[in-house]
Amino acid sequence: MTAPDAAGRLRPRRSCLAVPGSNPRFLEKAQGLPADQVFLDLEDACAPLAKEDARHTIVKALNEGDWTGKTRVVRVNDWTTHWTYRDVITVVEGAGPNLDCIMLPKVQDAQQIVALDLLLTQIEKTMGFEIGRIGIEAQIENAKGLVNVDEIAGASPRLETIVFGPADFMASINMKSLVVGEQPPGYPADAYHYILMRILMAARMHDLQAIDGPYLQIRNVDGFREVAGRAAALGYDGKWVLHPGQVEAANEVFSPSQEDYDHAELILDAYDYCTSVEGGMKGSAMLGDEMIDEASRKMALVVAGKGRAAGMSRTSTFQPPEA
Ligand code: GLV
Ligand code: MG
């Protein structure tokens, strides 16, 4: 699901690096890290009194920095504050051509996405920017957002991702834990399973990416890997990273292993061959001891797509069976 489509959506987002918009040193440092995406934050990583200056610091960093190879996102404040419209206007007017998406936090219903979409269109028209190029990332961070996630995910063609915000979400539902991403003590199963699956279904229904939020114990890379591994196993495309130490781990966890990548490419070749005229136009075939068919091809496409987006190369080639 991570290869860019014709509209440039579905870019790789294995690691999505949070960078406080008020800190020029962090903005500089982020440019050298191998994260697939950066998001420059005007919301919770930016103190209320620093937000106005941070808008301009972000515009400068986007226009003058070297963000080659990274998806460039700015997280604005949510619509219940008085900051949102100015965040969007200042950042998009100032740096629109150097910006890929706006991330909207604490989304509660489809109208909040529609409002952002309309505002973006007006700015693009006024400034002569390409209409509709700037995407939207929607964060689900409370019960209302989760209950409305289907309509939120379908609210605008600009949407690229649905993002789980565990810290705000845990607070909003009174979860009995202070350790973001870890299981609340005393609960015998995975307390996040329903939430993650709910978001994933809505995202997939609308061909969007699903992204897991932050893991705050930044020195515990093993803990990060474990929590990221759970989201990756379900089908998530990536996870937020808050520290350089988490970047490599996220890139690894959300890429297929070399073995799985090779296997997926072989399935695709074998399926192409067996359905071709020279392969006998068959609907299924054997690849070694494994029977493959159209459903195997779909599964292989997902893994191969993730591997290609991660820049992996094959280490084996398909040999058609002897006639
Ligand atoms: C992220 O915004 C979170 O609340 O976890
Ligand atoms: Mg949040």
List the chain domain ranges. Answer: 6-253, 258-309
2 and 306 Cβ atoms separated by less than 8 Å: yes
Phi, psi of 308 (to 5 degrees): -65, -45
| DSSP structural state of residue 50 | G
Q: Taking the CA of residue 176 as centre, how many other CA atoms within 13 Å lie in the half-sphere pointing to its CB?
A: 4
Average of pLDDT values for 303-310? 88
At the second CATH level, the architecture of 6-253 is: Alpha-Beta Barrel (3.20)
Tokens for 53? 């200056």
Average pLDDT, the chain: 94
pLDDT at residue 121 is higher than 50: yes
- Mean pLDDT throughout 210-239? 96
Question: Is 78 close to ligand 1, i.e. is its CB under 6 Å away?
Answer: no
The confidence score (pLDDT) of residue 135 equals 98
Average pLDDT of the residues in 32-53:
97
Query: Does the beta carbon of 33 sit less than 6 angstroms from any atom of ligand 1?
Result: no
| CA 158 to ligand 2 center in whole angstroms | 21
How far is 93 from 123, CA to CA, in rounded Å?
7
Tokens 């978001």 correspond to: 199
Q: What is the pLDDT of residues 230-260, one digit of tens each?
A: 999 999 999 999 999 999 999 999 999 999 9
pLDDT of 178 higher than 90: no
Give the pairing of strands 71-75 and 101-104: parallel
Q: Please give the span between the terminal C-alpha atoms of the chain, in angstroms, as a whole number.
A: 35
User: Ligand 1, residues 16, 43, 103, 141: which to mutate, most atoms within 8 A of Cβ?
Assistant: 141
How remote is the CA of residue 75 from the centroid of ligand 1, in Å?
11
Q: Residue 2's pLDDT is what?
A: 38
Q: How far is the CA of 55 from the centre of ligand 2 (A)?
A: 19
